[in-house]
Amino acid sequence: MRPRHWLLAGLVAINVALLAAGAGMGGERGSGAGRVRIGLVFDVGGLGDKSFNDAANRGLQRAARELPVTTRYIEPGDGSNRESAMRRFAQEGYDLVIGVGWAFSDDVRSLAREFPEIAFACVDYAPPQHGTSPANVAGLRFREQEGSYLVGAIAGLITRTRQVGFVGGMKNPLIRKFQIGYAAGVHRVCPDCVVRAAYAGNTPEAFADPTKGKELALAQYDRGVDVIFHAAGNTGDGVLGAARERKRWAIGVDSDQFRQAPCCVLTSMLKKVDVAVFDVIRDVAEGRFHGGDRELGLAEDGVGYVYDHNNRDRIPPQVRRQVEALRADIVAGRIEVPWK
């Protein structure tokens, strides 16, 4: 069998494996000769999470509209086939392969060494504890603690019970950044407030368990908490469901989650994954891609919180002024938000 036939057979085998594992592949967007090809693999939970993955998809869709690129995505089922999904794009010669989520970090490094001519990017990239990352890997990272600090300040100023909550998905250093920043913001404006925290689990599946999220949130509301911030992916749907049931406040994450619980979403902490994804695609399309870490915080408008016509009446003017003053202090370096 000729080498080309071996490659085709290998790709067929990968397609079969992806389908068997419950993966889904999105159709191509953009067409035409000479276009740069972009392949993106979503995290556990896939499209429709109204949070992390959907934010990445907005960046991918924007790139397909505004740049001379062709885009395609894969939803990797339970996440066990992340590597094979990215490998598929690499073997097909895509110009940029993006993994959405810290769990892709090891696989991105391994594949980048195997395919040095291809650019790779990883959202929430975790650098290796020893050694360096390949030169063709862009690590897209965020100072989540800064946005979390601001919504923590909102929670601390709004709470009437002086008890607020946090529900995380998987208990890991990344989600701890949300919790630590949030608690710091709460205590900045309400030193004697109690911050109750709970996590859905210790594996990536903890981001895809709405039932567990609702259970954890109900337990906090029943203990007197009146505002809960979640950083839990699809598990957060359960938190918002609990807020609807108890008629208490909840704070969304990553994207504006107001529409998921119009009665009860106080605000949402924004993590602009769409901006990071679009920017790295644009770099490849314009021939100026470079590896290395890219970190976005308040100063870069990479994180923030929602304040618009939907929630303006829920955040009084004096609260808004205090929170914006804290934002200015963080950007100016007068406040350093803890993250570990």
The predicted model gives 114-135 an average pLDDT of 96
What is the rounded CA–CA span in Å between residue 55 and residue 267? 16
pLDDT interval class at 37 (50, 70, 90): very high
Mean pLDDT score across all residues of the chain: 92
The CATH architecture assigned to 144-271+307-332 reads 3-Layer(aba) Sandwich (3.40)
The residue extents of the domains of the chain are 3-142+273-296, 144-271+307-332
The pTM for the full model equals 0.87
Of all residues in the chain, the percent with pLDDT exceeding 70 is 90
* Whether the Cβ atoms of residue 338 and residue 145 lie closer than 8 Å to each other: yes
Instruction: Establish whether domains 3-142+273-296 and 144-271+307-332 are of one fold.
Output: yes
What ranges make up the beta strands (E) of the chain?
24-25, 36-41, 69-75, 96-100, 119-123, 137-142, 163-170, 194-201, 227-231, 249-254, 265-271, 292-296, 303-305
- Distinct helix (H) and strand (E) counts, the chain: 10, 13
pLDDT interval class at 7 (50, 70, 90): very low
Among 303, 310, 309, 335, CA closest to 322: 335
> In the CATH hierarchy, which top-level class contains the domain 3-142+273-296?
alpha beta
3-state secondary structure 211-247: HHHHHHHHHHHHCCCCEEEEECHHHHHHHHHHHHHHC
pLDDT in tens, 48-93: 888 899 999 999 999 999 999 999 999 987 767 899 999 999 999 9
Q: What is the DSSP letter of 102?
A: G
